[in-house]
C-alpha cells in the first residue's frame, strides 16, 4: 500500500526533512526575487517567478525548512492569510552568496533585528505593529505589476532599473527656507527600445499611499518632490528628467483627495498640475496584461498610461 508523505509544519522548521536536497537554480532565482522585493506575498511571488506554481510552492517549502528564507502571515478577516516572505538569515545566505549576485547585507541584518520574530506578533490583525510591512507589500505589488506588464509587452517596454529604500532619501530646501524630507517609496526607469533616440527612457518616482498620512503632511510630501525636481536634484540618480511622480492610493476616494492636494499646489506652481499622477490601487493585483490607462493628473481629466 502506497504511503502518503507527511505534511511538514507551516510555522516550525524541520531541517532534517529536507536534508540532502539540492539547491537548484530555480531555488536560487526565488531567493533573488525575495532579495529584490524585500517583502513579498506568495501570490505576488508566483506571478513574478513564472513557471509552474506547484513547483514554486515546493521550492518555497524546501527553502523555508532549509533556513534560507523566512515567512510569516498577516491575518485578515479572521483568516491566517497568505505567507509573506523575506530574508534575514545572513549566515545561511553567505554560504550561497556566490550564486546570488549583489546582496544588501545591511538590509538582511536589519530584517534580522526587526522581523526575525514577526510571526509571534499578536495585536489584533497586526495593523499597528505591521504597518510598515503592509506598506512594503503595496510597493511590492506595484513593482510586480510593472514587471508583469513589461513581460507582456513582448519587448516593447523594459524595466531598466528599480530602486527603493533609504538610498533614495534626502532633504530639500523650499524657497521659504523650510527643509523637507524627500523620501520616495521607489524610483524606476522604463526603456522603450523602439522609440526615437532621446525618447527611449521614462523615469518615475512612486508613492504608495495607504491613507494613513493626513493631507497636510501629504501636501508637504508633494512639495518636496516638486522642489527636488525643480532644483534638478534627480541628476544624483543619473537622469535629467522625471516623467512624473506616481501616487497609488488605497482607494478611489483617497486618490481623489490626493489629486485635490496637487491641484492646490498647481494653483501656485503650474508644474504640479502635470507632474503628479494619481490612481487607486487595483482590486486584483496584476490583473492587467498591459500598462493600463488609469493615471490622472490634476490639470485635466485625461486617463494616462505609463507608455504615454
Looking at residue 77, what is its pLDDT?
62
Mean pLDDT of 57-85: 88
| Whole-number average pLDDT of the chain | 90
Looking at residue 130, what is its pLDDT?
75
Looking at residue 183, what is its pLDDT?
97
- Per-domain boundaries in the chain: 15-120, 139-304
Q: Is 181 exposed, middle or buried (0-12, 13-18, 19+ CB in 10 A)?
A: exposed
Mean pLDDT of 49-56: 92
C-alpha cell at 291: 500598462
The CATH label, of 3.40.50.300, 3.30.70.580, 1.10.3720.10, 1.10.10.10, for the domain at 15-120 is: 1.10.10.10
**211 and 127 in contact (C-beta within 8 Å)?**
no
From edge to edge, which strands make up the β-sheet containing 158-164? 158-164, 186-191, 201-209, 244-249, 276-280, 295-297, 303-304
C-alpha cell at 67: 533556513
CA-CA distance, 243 to 307, in Å (whole number)? 11
Residue 26 host element (H or E) = helix 25-37
| Cβ-Cβ contacts under 8 Å for 84 (sequence gap 6 or more) | 39, 40, 41, 42, 71, 72, 73, 74, 133, 137
pLDDT (tens digit per residue) in 12-50 = 899 998 988 999 999 999 999 999 999 999 999 999 998
Q: Which residue has the higher pLDDT, 286 or 207?
A: 207
C-alpha cell at 108: 538582511
Per-residue pLDDT at 254 exceeds 50: yes
CA-CA distance, 79 to 192, in Å (whole number)? 42
pLDDT (tens digit per residue) in 118-174 = 765 544 444 445 788 999 999 999 999 999 999 999 999 999 999 999 999 999 999
C-alpha cell at 117: 520574530
pLDDT > 70 in the chain, percent? 91
Mean pLDDT of 231-244: 97
Task: Reduce the secondary structure of 168-182 to three states and give it as a string.
Answer: HCEEEECCCCCEEEE
Looking at residue 126, what is its pLDDT?
47
Amino acid at each position: 500500500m502506497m504511503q502518503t508523505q507527511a505534511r511538514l509544519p507551516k510555522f516550525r522548521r524541520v531541517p532534517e526533512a529536507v536534508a540532502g536536497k539540492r539547491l537548484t537554480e530555480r531555488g536560487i532565482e526565488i531567493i533573488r526575487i525575495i532579495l529584490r522585493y524585500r517583502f513579498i506575498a506568495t501570490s505576488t511571488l508566483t506571478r513574478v517567478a513564472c513557471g509552474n506554481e506547484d513547483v514554486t510552492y515546493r521550492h518555497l517549502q524546501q527553502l523555508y525548512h532549509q533556513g534560507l528564507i523566512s515567512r510569516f502571515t498577516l491575518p485578515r478577516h479572521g483568516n491566517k492569510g497568505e505567507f509573506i516572505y523575506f530574508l534575514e538569515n545572513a549566515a545561511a545566505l553567505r554560504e550561497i552568496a556566490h550564486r546570488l549576485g549583489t546582496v544588501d547585507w545591511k538590509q538582511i541584518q536589519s530584517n534580522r533585528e526587526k522581523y526575525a520574530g514577526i510571526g509571534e506578533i499578536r495585536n489584533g490583525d497586526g495593523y499597528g505593529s505591521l504597518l510598515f510591512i503592509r506598506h512594503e507589500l503595496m510597493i511590492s505589488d506595484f513593482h510586480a505589476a510593472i514587471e508583469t506588464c513589461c513581460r507582456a509587452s513582448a519587448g516593447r517596454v523594459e524595466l531598466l532599473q528599480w530602486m527603493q529604500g533609504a538610498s533614495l532619501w534626502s532633504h530639500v530646501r523650499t524657497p521659504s527656507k523650510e527643509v523637507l524630507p524627500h523620501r520616495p517609496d521607489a524610483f524606476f526607469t522604463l526603456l522603450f527600445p523602439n522609440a526615437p533616440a532621446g525618447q527611449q527612457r521614462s523615469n518615475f518616482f512612486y508613492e504608495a499611499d495607504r491613507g494613513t498620512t493626513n493631507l497636510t503632511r501629504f501636501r508637504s510630501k508633494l512639495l518636496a518632490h516638486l522642489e527636488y525636481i525643480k532644483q534638478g536634484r534627480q541628476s544624483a540618480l543619473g537622469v535629467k528628467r522625471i516623467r512624473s511622480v506616481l501616487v497609488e492610493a488605497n482607494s478611489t476616494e483617497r486618490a481623489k483627495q490626493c489629486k485635490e492636494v496637487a491641484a492646490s499646489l498647481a494653483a501656485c506652481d503650474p508644474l504640479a498640475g502635470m507632474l503628479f499622477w494619481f490612481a487607486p490601487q487595483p482590486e486584483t493585483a496584476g490583473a492587467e496584461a498591459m500598462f493600463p490607462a488609469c493615471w490622472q493628473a490634476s490639470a485635466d481629466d485625461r486617463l494616462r498610461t505609463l507608455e504615454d
